[in-house]
Amino acid sequence: MARTRHDIATVSLGKVADAETQAWHPVLDTYARGVELMRALPAEDPESWQWAANTHGVPVGTPLRPAWGQCAHASLFFLPWHRAYLAWFEGTIRKLTGDDGWGLPYWDYSDPDNPDAVFLPAEFRVPTRVVDGEAVPNPLFDPARNEGPIPGEDIDIVQALAERRFVGGVPDVGFGGTDRDRRFGDVESTPHNWVHVDIAGLMESPATAGQDPIFWLHHANIDRLWEVWLSLPGSLRLTDPGGGSAFLVTQWQSAIFWFGSEQSPSTYTMDDVEDLSSVKMGYEYESIELPEASAEAIAAAREPVPVGGSGFPLDEAQARWEPVAASFNLDSNEERDLTFHATPRGLDEAPPTRLVLEFAGVRAVVPHAAYVVEVRSAPDAEPHRAGRFATFGLAGTPPEEERNYLVDATEVLPDLVAEGWTGGQLSVKLVPEEGRPDSDDPDRAIHVQQVTVYAQTS
Amino acid sequence: MSLLQATLLAGRLSGSVRSTSTRVVLGCAAAAWVALSVPRPGGGQGAGEMGVAHVHHPHTVPPVAAEVVDPWSLAWIGSWLLMVVAMMWPLTIPSVGAITRSSFRGWRMRLGVVCLATVTILWLAVGLAGAMFARTLSVPPGSVWWQLAFVCLALVAFRSSWRSRVLEGCLRLPALAPGGRRGVVTATRAGMLTWRRCALLCGPVMLAMAIGHSLVLMVFASLAAWWEAWHPRAWRDPVPVLLIAGAGAWIAVAALLDGRIGHA
């Protein structure tokens, strides 16, 4: 039986006052009851709320079990792992509530036709709700969250959906990931990571995010975006010819995801995961159609499908990139001049067509939620905003946890060249993004083990 | 597998060996396999009769001469290194590829070699330790019981959920510096992580072969390790288990037929 995962906008009461006093749509009522029932179970029970959340990540200091802390972030398996995880979670809610037709709703915060989409759904913002005429605590509520609005730039889906490849290399990542672990795919960077840090509270860290009921709706939307991407003409799946190496394809096709008890886990093969109509998935989305404005923007930004083929094979596409400069041990708010390593191509002779900065081995005890990357063609030149990244994955995790962030600085290349930049050196600085609650907090910082500049010449 | 899938896979495989580093590593591994497969004068394959020494036990009356492994002999070290190149180097291809792609042009080959050298040296150290341990226990070369014990250990390890989790984590490489002293340091770190993954994949079976081995065990162990490396997220995949179990069964049956069980 294919169940429908509804858009939260179509099942929400919309207004906070109504959510506090009126009966909820059955989809949200079942969800709230399911969360309550799961929370009533002890953490050692594989059907408990804590077990489900810990399967994603565990707070620092919690003794680890093999089934816990599995979240596949910054990995090629980010999307399929979370799809299987959601299906397993959905099954638990259905079993505990007895509502066999229930499907997890999704939160489409990027819907340009719905001005309220950027706010947390009303049912998640009220501390109490009415059940059988009585006000009872609302299990979907968490006072630590930001309620919105989420800034438009953070939930812009154009760049992710405009990427034709599911998997890319370093530094040119694909929609779903890269051929090396520890790099975010486009959809994982934006909107996924940004929504996590924007909502904050439990959502701020992968170690606790699964404890927040809004987490599951956020990931349902990310999962839906995968379906949207697949529906776009010219999207190149990993398993399509030219989509990835034999090694990656074999890894992908043989993956099995497992959840629950270590002795008798629920398992999901990649065939199960890739087919929404399979017995183990059995759902469809209310809509995978893009609003007209988004569809047009994505079509305009998408690289055209090459005549007679799918484009460069992955390894050839990567060969066009080259590391040209590197520096080490950079702290946030510290300016660093990177000297370019001479390359046979000579950037002064042929300016790069694209420029990407990688911040690798980033660590933090308490990071700012987001950083802006500033570059200058010379130490005394004007700074240019090359890009930004959200630090999801660094907060609430052990200090030795590392993340890598890629920032595409191609947009500022014309400005740099106009200033007479010849590629000999580049000044780089990471500054906390302004306008956020933690922007001026002097106790927050990140440490970057390695900054690498990648250039692509035609 | 359909004809279409097979054609696609063949195309991807041929595409995968396009890079120079992959070709070099696979070429070295192939040469090592050939060297190990060439029969030696006096019988047996090159790897089967690793550095054997005759040791006299002075406290045994009457004195007897027993054959034990001599890990410090050139024969043992040479055979062991050939085995590492043949079996383990193919497992390093993703790491070496990542290093060369992350390096400045002038450093690509050098940093790839650093990674390979790190893996090889660590395996040499482990092999020496295993052979020294066997020598301390006076385990005779080619001991069936020694080999079966480590094959059983490998089979038990396959059931471990933790092993699966660690294997997934081992796919991650540290930040790779593109050249210079830091490049050497990070390539060494990458080599250490790659070695850890190789050790998890087939450490027990490699130790089983520290006292000499049959080519059959080597082939089955290699196939199991390579298969698992190519299917890192295949939860409780039966293929490598069956390969290792098959190798164990082969050793046991061959020993029974030779009448070696009970004497080894």
DSSP string, chain B: --HHHHHHHHHHHHHHTTSHHHHHHHHHHHHHHHHHHSBPTTSSBTTTT--EEEEE-TTSSS--EEEEE-TTSHHHHHHHHHHIIIIIGGGGHHHHHHHHHHS-GGGHHHHHHHHHHHHHHHHHHHHHHHHHHHHHTTPPTT-HHHHHHHHHHHHHHHT-HHHHHHHHHTT-------SHHHHHHHHHHHHHHHHHHHHHHHHHHHHHGGG---HHHHHHHHHHHHHHHHSTT-TT-HHHHHHHHHHHHHHHHHHHHHT-TTT-
Regarding whether A344 and A452 lie in a shared domain, the answer is: yes
Regarding whether A290 and A377 lie in a shared domain, the answer is: no
ipTM computed for the complex: 0.83
Q: Which of A77, A265, A343 lies nearest to residue B105, judging by beta carbons?
A: A343
CA-only gyration radius of chain A, Å: 23
The answer to whether B15 contacts A313, with C-beta atoms less than 8 Å apart, is yes
Regarding whether A147 and A221 lie in a shared domain, the answer is: yes
CB distance from B7 to chain A under 8 Å? no
| Residue A190 forms part of a structural domain | yes
- Number of separate domains in chain A: 2
The answer to whether B235 contacts A318, with C-beta atoms less than 8 Å apart, is no
Regarding whether A331 and A264 lie in a shared domain, the answer is: no
Regarding whether A350 and A247 lie in a shared domain, the answer is: no
CB distance from B246 to chain A under 8 Å? no
| Residue A213 forms part of a structural domain | yes
Interface test with A, best of B103, B164, B233, B239 (most A CBs within 10 A): B233
Per-position b or e across A418-428, b if 16+ CB within 10 A of its CB: eeebebebbbb
Regarding whether A293 and A333 lie in a shared domain, the answer is: no
| Residue A114 forms part of a structural domain | yes
Chain B residue with Cα closest to A246: B12
Asked whether the beta carbons of A213 and A108 are under 8 A apart, the reply is no
CB distance from B2 to chain A under 8 Å? no
Regarding whether A171 and A49 lie in a shared domain, the answer is: yes
Residue B216 has a CB neighbour count (10 Å cut-off) of: 13
Q: Which of A246, A262, A328 lies nearest to residue B13, judging by beta carbons?
A: A246
- What's phi and psi for B53, nearest 5 deg? -120, 150
Residues from chain A contacting residue B172 (CB–CB below 8 Å): 181-182
Regarding whether A324 and A293 lie in a shared domain, the answer is: no
Asked whether the beta carbons of B224 and B243 are under 8 A apart, the reply is yes
Regarding whether A334 and A292 lie in a shared domain, the answer is: no
Regarding whether A268 and A199 lie in a shared domain, the answer is: yes
CB distance from B173 to chain A under 8 Å? yes
- C-alpha A71/C-alpha B197 separation (Å) is 20
| Residue A311 forms part of a structural domain | no
Cα distance from A235 to chain B (closest Cα, Å)? 18
| Residue A406 forms part of a structural domain | yes
Residues from chain B contacting residue A313 (CB–CB below 8 Å): 15
Question: Pick from A265, A297, A329: which residue ends a domain?
Answer: A297
Range of the domain at A332: 320-456
Q: From first to last of its 458 residues, what are the pLDDT tens digits of chain A? A: 689 999 999 999 999 999 999 999 999 999 999 999 999 999 999 999 999 999 999 999 999 898 999 998 889 999 999 999 999 999 999 999 999 999 999 999 999 999 999 999 999 999 999 999 999 999 999 999 998 899 999 999 999 999 999 999 889 899 999 888 789 999 999 999 999 999 999 999 999 999 999 999 999 999 999 999 999 999 999 999 989 989 899 999 999 999 999 889 999 999 999 999 999 999 999 999 999 989 999 999 997 766 655 555 555 555 578 899 999 999 999 999 999 886 544 565 667 888 999 999 999 999 999 999 999 998 889 999 999 999 999 999 888 889 999 999 999 999 998 998 888 889 999 999 999 999 999 999 999 999 999 988 66
Q: Which of A256, A257, A326 lies nearest to residue B177, judging by beta carbons?
A: A326
| Residue A310 forms part of a structural domain | no
How far is CA B197 from its chain centroid?
Answer: 11
Residues from chain B contacting residue A258 (CB–CB below 8 Å): 235
The answer to whether A246 contacts B101, with C-beta atoms less than 8 Å apart, is no
CATH number of the domain where residue A344 is located: 2.60.120
- C-alpha A214/C-alpha A212 separation (Å) is 5
Question: Pick from A262, A297, A332: which residue ends a domain?
Answer: A297
| Residue A303 forms part of a structural domain | no
Asked whether the beta carbons of A389 and A371 are under 8 A apart, the reply is yes
Cα distance from B179 to chain A (closest Cα, Å)? 9
- C-alpha B164/C-alpha B242 separation (Å) is 17
Q: Hey, what amino acid is at A197?
A: V
| Residue A309 forms part of a structural domain | no
Regarding whether A336 and A291 lie in a shared domain, the answer is: no
The pLDDT tens digits for B189-225 are: 999 999 998 898 889 999 999 998 678 899 999 999 9
Residues from chain B contacting residue A180 (CB–CB below 8 Å): 98, 173
Regarding whether A275 and A180 lie in a shared domain, the answer is: yes
Chain B residue with Cα closest to A183: B172
CATH number of the domain where residue A183 is located: 1.10.1280.10
